[in-house]
């Protein structure tokens, strides 16, 4: 028979065994929980970290592919959209390229028009100069009236503006039509027109000196016809040709040579030059900014003589 001491010893051993087993089971459960739960937590965290950049990247790519900045992008100097804080706000904001522009059609903005286009309003300032007899950089000679002006160098565009009729409106509501006969060099800014003192006085007191204006090209009513003048020094071996009295600005001048038409380069002093003499004294074809072509024959090489043609561009 077991003694009381032996029985007590066995009970203590059983308690230690049960406690050890319980601790082992508990530790195993905790370890299993950590092992099973940790990857999921890491995956969830990783998924959350990558979600936002992925959305931003899609927007940037879409904007670049379409070539049109969206409300969530600001165009840089190179035209590449750069994401900004607005990318995640969802608020619409017009970009520089999205600014509405006046509608234009082929009939109102012909490709040969250059910088000054029909049915387009320009903004600038008007100043005044002493026009004397009205002659200027366009070399038209003395003007029959002094309702004339000098166009800034940018819009003068190597004499393309010569002979253009321009309606000038002042902020006070007054307006006047002038003909471009001269060039206003720097510091005259794009949009600026230097009016003869006589023309400026129709809009404001000369003492003001400088006024804000808007202006646009005109195709006026006129009874005049176009004339042709060969430059001083012209001959069958070299010539300069100028058109005078045209209703609409001249876009190009060609001469008949070699069985076809040869376009002559234009100078800043408003003559078209044939430096080889090709076509000097032959038929001439002039084209206005609307694309109308007029063929002129019978004009001899007579230097510095204004020769009328009897033809004129149509009014627009």
Per-residue pLDDT of 189-226, as tens digits, reads: 999 999 999 999 999 999 999 999 999 999 999 999 99
pLDDT at 311 over 80: yes
- Same structural domain, 212 and 127: yes
Strand partners, 104: none
- The CATH number covering residue 181 comes to 2.40.40.10
54 part of a folded domain = no
211 part of a folded domain = yes
Distance between CA atoms of 118 and 289, rounded to whole angstroms? 9
- Per residue in 284-308, pLDDT (tens digit) is 999 999 999 999 999 999 999 999 9
- Say if strands 122-129 and 193-196 run parallel, antiparallel, or are unpaired: parallel
- Same structural domain, 5 and 23: yes
- Same structural domain, 206 and 135: yes
Q: What is the mean pLDDT of residues 97-124?
A: 63
Q: Which residue has the higher pLDDT, 148 or 45?
A: 148
pLDDT at 196: 98
CA distances from 222 to 90, 238, 315 (A): 58, 33, 9
114 part of a folded domain = no
Most confident range (mean pLDDT) of 62-71, 106-115, 203-212 is: 203-212
78 part of a folded domain = no
- Same structural domain, 161 and 191: yes
- Same structural domain, 235 and 304: yes
Distance between CA atoms of 185 and 73, rounded to whole angstroms? 39
- Same structural domain, 184 and 242: no
Which of 168, 193, 218 is where one domain is finished? 218
- The CATH number covering residue 244 comes to 2.60.40.760
- Same structural domain, 232 and 259: yes
Distance between CA atoms of 77 and 98, rounded to whole angstroms? 15
302 part of a folded domain = yes
- Same structural domain, 5 and 38: yes
- Per residue in 234-276, pLDDT (tens digit) is 999 999 999 999 999 999 999 999 999 999 999 999 999 999 9
pLDDT at 207: 97
198 part of a folded domain = yes
Q: Which residue has the higher pLDDT, 32 or 9?
A: 9
pLDDT at 70 over 90: no
103 part of a folded domain = no
Q: What is the CA radius of gyration of the chain?
A: 41
- Same structural domain, 231 and 155: no
- Same structural domain, 159 and 233: no
Number of domains in the chain: 3
- Same structural domain, 214 and 231: no
102 part of a folded domain = no
Residues spanned by the domain of 24: 1-48
pLDDT band for position 281 (cuts 50, 70, 90) = very high
* pTM as predicted: 0.66
In contact, 267 and 273? CB cutoff 8 Å: yes
pLDDT at 280 over 80: yes
Name the phi and psi angles at 283, rounded to 5. -65, 150
Count CB-CB contacts under 10 A for residue 95.
16
Which of 181, 198, 218 is where one domain is finished? 218
pLDDT at 112: 78
Distance between CA atoms of 200 and 129, rounded to whole angstroms? 9
pLDDT at 36: 44
- Same structural domain, 212 and 238: no
Which of 200, 218, 236 is where one domain is finished? 218
CA angle, 162 then 108 then 225, to 5°: 45
| Residue 293, Ramachandran bin (φ over 0: left; ψ between -120 and 50: alpha; else beta) | beta
Q: Does residue 108 sit in helix, strand or coil?
A: coil
């Amino acid at each position: 028979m077991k003694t009381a001491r032996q029985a007590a010893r066995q009970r203590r051993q059983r308690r230690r065994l049960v406690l050890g087993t319980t601790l082992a089971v508990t530790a195993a459960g905790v370890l299993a929980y950590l092992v099973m739960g940790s990857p999921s937590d890491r995956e969830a965290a990783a998924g959350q970290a990558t979600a936002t950049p992925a959305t931003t990247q899609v927007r940037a790519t879409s904007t670049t592919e379409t070539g049109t900045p969206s409300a969530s992008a600001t165009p840089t100097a190179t035209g590449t959209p750069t994401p900004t804080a607005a990318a995640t706000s969802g608020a619409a904001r017009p970009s520089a390229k999205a600014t509405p522009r006046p509608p234009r059609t082929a009939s109102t903005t012909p490709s040969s028009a250059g910088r000054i286009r029909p049915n387009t309003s320009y903004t600038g300032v008007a100043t005044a100069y002493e026009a004397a007899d009205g002659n200027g950089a366009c070399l038209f000679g003395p003007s029959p009236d002094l309702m004339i002006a000098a166009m800034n160098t940018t819009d003068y565009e190597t004499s393309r503006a010569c002979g253009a009729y321009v309606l000038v409106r002042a902020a006070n509501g007054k307006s006047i039509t002038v003909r471009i006969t001269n060039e206003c060099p720097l510091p005259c800014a794009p949009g600026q027109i230097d009016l003869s003192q006589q023309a400026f006085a129709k809009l404001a007191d000369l003492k003001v000196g400088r006024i804000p204006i808007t202006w646009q090209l005109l195709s006026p009513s006129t009874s005049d016809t176009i004339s042709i003048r060969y430059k001083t020094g012209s001959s069958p071996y070299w010539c300069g040709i100028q058109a005078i009295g045209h209703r609409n600005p001249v876009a190009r001048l060609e001469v008949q040579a070699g069985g076809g038409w040869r376009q002559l380069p234009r100078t800043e002093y408003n003559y078209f030059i044939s430096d080889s003499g090709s076509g000097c004294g032959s038929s001439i074809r002039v084209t206005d900014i609307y694309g109308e072509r007029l063929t002129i024959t019978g004009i001899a090489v007579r230097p510095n003589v204004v020769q009328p043609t009897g033809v004129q561009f149509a009014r627009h």
